[in-house]
Amino acid sequence: MPFFSATLPNGLTLLGEQNPAALSVSTCFWVRTGARDETPEESGLSHFLEHMVFKGTEKRDPFAVNRDFSKIGAVNNAWTSEENTVYYGTVLPEFLPQMVDVLADIMRPSLRVEDFETEKKVILDEIVRYEVQPQWGAYDHARSTYYGSHPLGNRVLGTTESVTALTQPQMRSYFDRRYGAGNILAVVTGQFDWSQYVDLIQKACSHWPTGSTGRQHRIEHCGKPEKHVLYKPADKVNQLYGTLITAAPAADSPLAYSAALLATALGDYAGSRLFWALVDSGLAEEASMDLDECDASGAYWISFSASPENGEQNLGIVQKILDDVQKNGLTRDELEKTRTKILSREVRASERSSSRMSIVAKDWVYRNQYRTVDDELKAWDAVSLDSIREVLDRYPINQPTICLYGPEA
């Protein structure tokens, strides 16, 4: 599939992967900013700003924004993480000009004071809704415990206190600092004409200021092998949530593919060691292991949820699995079965323009390169028992930070 790239004079990077066989086109503005880029006084601003982007511009009020997405049949949305904020949409190819027009317009929001105060109430309500969901409480507890003062421990939503204290001038300052053209990618995948796309982006975005770029505090974090328990009343939380976190390769590490395959073999939602030991046996409702690949630092997240009386037993089983793999690695059969599973998922994802949009953007943001589907498949094929052994030697998995959240047994 042909790949294209360009950079506008103001620093905005354009990427395109063309698939003539695709029946749709996906495009996004990928902003390299998230919760880790906030000061303590700005906690929650990245996510708050994501909401505000849809509250209107000089050209469109909120109703017009939604109307103009709807009338072209767009599947559109946005999301915010610790490191990125992304605004995206998928449409039929003939509607790409309208999609770019609306997306580019909302990237320069009005940020009106009255909208700010109204949306703040929405955000505060969202925080409350998340706080009463035990799985999110467990996640926040584990993340803040593991990372401590490291910026990757910042909460995406912020807290009730931090969001209440935020002001519209703070948001304007953060927007001017982090939403400059030099900190944004415009990505398009699927069926499109590259020359037309470049013209559309130039017309809509060439006036954007360059802004500042880069990220501070790019430090690898390694947690301590400690156990933390946060008890909750049984009438509020009826399951015990266990989270074990340990250091892993960063997103741009040559070992990232080996680390991801290891995590899939141990904690995929089906057919993994944790699945067979905890879920299939009925000891836990769910169990997983994921690789959280971040800028300059990575982490394995091992999680399970179960009845409180099974908590310590499950914890012991997980620790036994981690000790065994740390000592003996994966078996050849595990390696090949997991590789086949991953390759199948990669190929199926490549058939969707929206999936390729995210993959192309992430490869550029974290690896500063474009990788074809074949490149991705070759990278998975290159994973070996030796490379997994190297990951385990450099990032031991059996000395995790353990966080338990829920009622006493």
pTM of the model: 0.94
CATH class of 3-205: alpha beta
Domain map (residue ranges) of the chain: 3-205, 227-406
Q: Distance between CA 181 and CA 194 in Å, rounded? A: 20
At 134-160, the pLDDT tens digits run 999 999 999 999 999 999 999 999 999
Catalytic residue, chosen from 17, 38, 42, 50, is 50
Q: Which residues of 18-31 are buried (b: 16+ CB within 10 A; e: fewer)?
A: bbeebebbbbbbbb
Mean pLDDT of the chain: 95
pLDDT by position in tens, the chain (length 409): 899 999 999 999 999 999 999 999 999 999 999 999 999 999 999 999 999 999 999 999 999 999 999 999 999 999 999 999 999 999 999 999 999 999 999 999 999 999 999 999 999 999 999 888 999 999 999 999 999 999 999 999 999 999 999 999 999 999 999 999 999 999 999 999 999 999 999 999 999 999 877 888 899 999 999 999 998 888 889 999 999 999 999 999 999 999 999 999 999 999 999 999 999 999 999 999 999 999 999 999 999 999 999 999 999 999 999 999 999 999 999 999 999 999 999 999 999 999 999 999 999 999 999 999 999 999 999 999 999 999 999 999 999 999 999 998 7
Pairing assessment for the beta strands 184-190 and 13-18 based on DSSP bridges: parallel
The total of other beta-carbon atoms located within 10 Å of residue 346's CB is: 16
Q: Which residues of 196-231 are buried (b: 16+ CB within 10 A; e: fewer)?
A: ebbebbeebbeebeebeeebeeeeebebeeeeeeee
Q: Give the DSSP per-residue string, 291-344.
A: EEE-SS-EEEEEEEEE-GGGHHHHHHHHHHHHHHHHHH---HHHHHHHHHHHHH
What is the model's pLDDT at position 217?
84
For residues 189 and 19, the answer to whether their CB atoms sit within 8 Å is yes
First to last CA, the chain: 56
| Residues 16-65: tens digit of each pLDDT | 999 999 999 999 999 999 999 999 999 999 999 999 999 999 999 999 99
Which pLDDT score, from 0 to 100, does residue 109 have? Answer: 97
Verify whether residue 50 is a known catalytic residue: yes
How many Å apart are CA 50 and CA 78, to the nearest integer? 7
pLDDT at res. 32 = 97
Cα–Cα distances in angstroms (integers) from residue 388 to residues 265, 328, 338, 339, in the given order: 11, 11, 13, 13
Distance of alpha carbon 83 from alpha carbon 198, whole angstroms: 26
Helix 113-131 to helix 45-52 angle (10° resolution) is: 120
Beta bridge partners of 245: 301, 401
The reply to whether domains 3-205 and 227-406 share a CATH topology is: yes
Q: What is the pLDDT of residue 291?
A: 97
Q: Rounded distance, CA 2 to CA 17, Å?
A: 6
Q: Which residue is it, tokens 């009106």?
A: 112
For the record, the structure tokens of 405 come out as 């959240």
Tens digit of each residue's pLDDT (9 = 90 or more) over 91-125: 999 999 999 999 999 999 999 999 999 999 999 99
The confidence score (pLDDT) of residue 141 equals: 92
Instruction: Please state which CATH class domain 227-406 belongs to.
Output: alpha beta
Cβ atoms within 10 Å of 373's Cβ, excluding its own:
17
Closest alpha carbon to 388 in 221, 265, 252: 265
Token digits of residue 195:
């020359």
d(CA 316, CA 402): 12
Taking only Cα atoms into account, the Rg of the chain, rounded to an integer number of angstroms, comes to 22
Counting DSSP H helices and E strands in the chain, the numbers are 15, 11
| 25 bridge partner residues | 91, 190
The token duo for 36 is 């880790």
The pLDDT score that the predictor gives to residue 245 is: 98
Q: How far apart are CA 222 and CA 245, in angstroms?
A: 9
Cβ atoms of 288 and 302 closer than 8 Å: yes
In sequence order, which ranges of 95-235 are alpha helices (DSSP H)? 96-106, 113-131, 134-147, 160-165, 168-178, 194-205
Task: Give pLDDT, residue 234.
Answer: 85
pLDDT at 409: 74
